Amino acid sequence: MKGELKELKLTVNGKSYEFKVKPKTLLVELLRNELKLTGAKIGCLDSACGACTVNIDGKAVRSCSILALQANGREVITIEGVADGYKLHPIQEAMVEHGAIECGFCTPGMVMSARALLGENPAPSQEEIKEAIQGNLCADEGYVKYIEAIEIAAKKMRGGN
Amino acid sequence: MIADFEYFAPKTVDEALSLLSKYKEEAKIIAGGQSMLVVMKRGLLSIEHLIDIKGIEALDYIKYDEKEGLRIGALTMHRAIEKSPVIQKHFGVLSEMERNLATIQTRNWGTIGGNLCHGDPAGDPAPVFIALNAKLKLASLGKERVIEMEEFSQDYLEVALEPDEMLIEIQVPTPPSHTGTACDKLMVMKGDMGVVGAAVSITLSPGDGICKDARIALSNCASTPLRAREAEKKLIGKVVNDSLLVEVGEVASTEATPPVDVHGSAEYRQEMVKVLVRRAATKALERAKAA
């Protein structure tokens, strides 16, 4: 039947959830409306701005362009699951310290793209960083500081200063 | 907004094909959905039964064998093709094409088969597969057939799938010796759909450097990916040099009937076809000489 609710099991920020959702529900809608995790932003809802970026199984994806049911059985991390309690993730820390924040709307997406990048490539080149956040638009053009902050975070995570 | 639909998530190809044979025209397949959800959100696609095949793991593979060539499962992610060592080594043009296909976020979820079945003439993979002389394996319940990539695109967002059929695999033959392939596209911003794009494959006859075979395909130049056959004829049988490649670009441009939108007039696009065909052909030629 059209619109019939379907069961969905997934892990979000380390916690297991079970839902019954309308099949047309987008992942970003589930995160924001059901779980009240509003860090993933709805910017364009059209796969253009990257503000809704989350990590699924460690990879950066756009939660506005995935049906919630397609994340069934997978592990989702949102910006709310990046810090360790009150201890910021090195990427967040570097962005705060380096002033890599403008109005803040694109920042969660930037962090999630950077987190996925550093997860698979601990020592990215500047080009690789640019490529990783290419899909995250910053309306304030704050790209340079973001790139530098990600470089700083990568260095810190590798054990440098 | 997206209208309601009934949702199925088969785990095997047979399950998916059974659903297709049951619902036919009323069913629609979704893979990564990176193109399709955009269309659904605009209300341009109303679906009774949505068959989500993203979870069919058996169609996520890249296999290579020198004799058989390359086999890519329809549900292989763009990012996997981009990063595949075997593709980088033997079909580098595919990896290069992927690097400019949208963004990492899209490549991490979107599938190669979904892209081809979406049938957008501005898509990047189809022209490259046409230049590589690729074939597609399609299946319906109890039946399989193989068609040329070139025959697959029928019209704007329309492909040669029967209502009960789905794409299973892309088959890319090992190119003849002394073949080089390259692609290029004009982008407003890196990762954008090409304003226009070109993929060129050139095969040289060893020794005399004469072009034995050529395949040229254009994106966003017609209602389907466009094979520029007249431009190919201009190359075949000749010793290829820079001035010939300029002419080849000019001929390809006369074959193009590009769309008009905010990114460019038809005239501008036709001018750019000249440039992009020449650039891709120059790179393909260098590669053919080095092969």
**pLDDT tens track for A134-160:** 999 999 889 999 999 999 999 999 996
The answer to whether residue A72 is domain-embedded is yes
CB B249 within 8 A of CB B273: yes
pLDDT for B1 beyond 90: no
B192 contacts in chain A (CB < 8 Å): none
User: Where are the alpha helices (H) located in A5-142, listed in sequence order?
Assistant: 27-29, 90-98, 107-120, 126-132
Q: State which residues form the domain around A117.
A: 90-157
What residue ranges define each of the domains in chain B, with the CATH number in brackets? 6-51 (3.30.43.10), 58-172 (3.30.465.10), 179-290 (3.30.390.50)
Interface residue B80 vs chain A (CB under 8 A): no
pLDDT for B211 beyond 90: yes
Same domain, A94 and A76: no
Same domain, A10 and A74: yes
**Please, what's the b/e burial string for B224-249 (b: 16 or more CB within 10 A of its CB; e: otherwise)?**
bbbbbeebbebbeeeebeeebbeebb
Cα B287 from Cα B179, distance rounded (Å): 7
The answer to whether residue A16 is domain-embedded is yes
pLDDT at B186: 97
Are B37 and A65 an interchain contact pair (Cβ–Cβ within 8 Å)?
Answer: yes
Same domain, A76 and A126: no
CB B62 within 8 A of CB B81: yes
CA A70, A106, A123, A153 dihedral sign is: negative
Same domain, A57 and A106: no
Cα A151 from Cα B4, distance rounded (Å): 44
pLDDT at A101: 87
Give me the mean pLDDT over the B83-90 stretch.
Answer: 98
CA A44, A45, A49, A50 dihedral sign is: positive
The answer to whether residue A19 is domain-embedded is yes
Strands (E), chain B: 6-8, 27-30, 49-52, 62-65, 69-73, 135-140, 143-148, 153-155, 158-159, 166-172, 179-185, 197-204, 211-219, 226-227
Are A24 and B48 an interchain contact pair (Cβ–Cβ within 8 Å)?
Answer: no
pLDDT at B6: 97
A72 contacts in chain B (CB < 8 Å): 9, 55
Interface residue B56 vs chain A (CB under 8 A): no
Residue of A nearest to B47 (CA): A2
Give me the mean pLDDT over the B235-243 stretch.
Answer: 96
User: How many beta-carbon pairs below 8 A join chains A and B?
Assistant: 85
CA distance A23 to chain B (A): 6
ipTM of the complex: 0.96
pLDDT at A8: 98
Q: Name the domain boundary from A47, A81, A115.
A: A81
The answer to whether residue A1 is domain-embedded is no
The answer to whether residue A115 is domain-embedded is yes
pLDDT for A13 beyond 70: yes
- Torsion, CA B165, CA B166, CA B168, CA B173, rounded to 10: 70
pLDDT at A161: 56
Same domain, A48 and A108: no
Least confident window among A137-141, B128-132, B235-239, B243-247: A137-141
Interface residue B3 vs chain A (CB under 8 A): yes
Q: Per the structure, how many domains does chain A have?
A: 2
**For the domain that residue A124 is a member of, what is the CATH number?**
1.10.150.120
Give me the mean pLDDT over the B222-248 stretch.
Answer: 97
Cα B41 from Cα B6, distance rounded (Å): 16
Helix (H) or strand (E) segment spanning residue A60:
strand A59-62
Same domain, A47 and A71: yes
pLDDT at B291: 87
CA distance B12 to chain A (A): 15
Are A1 and B6 an interchain contact pair (Cβ–Cβ within 8 Å)?
Answer: yes
pLDDT at B207: 84
Report chain A's mean pLDDT, rounded to a whole number. Answer: 96
Same domain, A32 and A62: yes
Closest CA to B107 of B139, B77, B68: B77
Cα B278 from Cα B240, distance rounded (Å): 12
Report chain B's mean pLDDT, rounded to a whole number. Answer: 97
**For the domain that residue A43 is a member of, what is the CATH number?**
3.10.20.30
Interface residue B50 vs chain A (CB under 8 A): yes
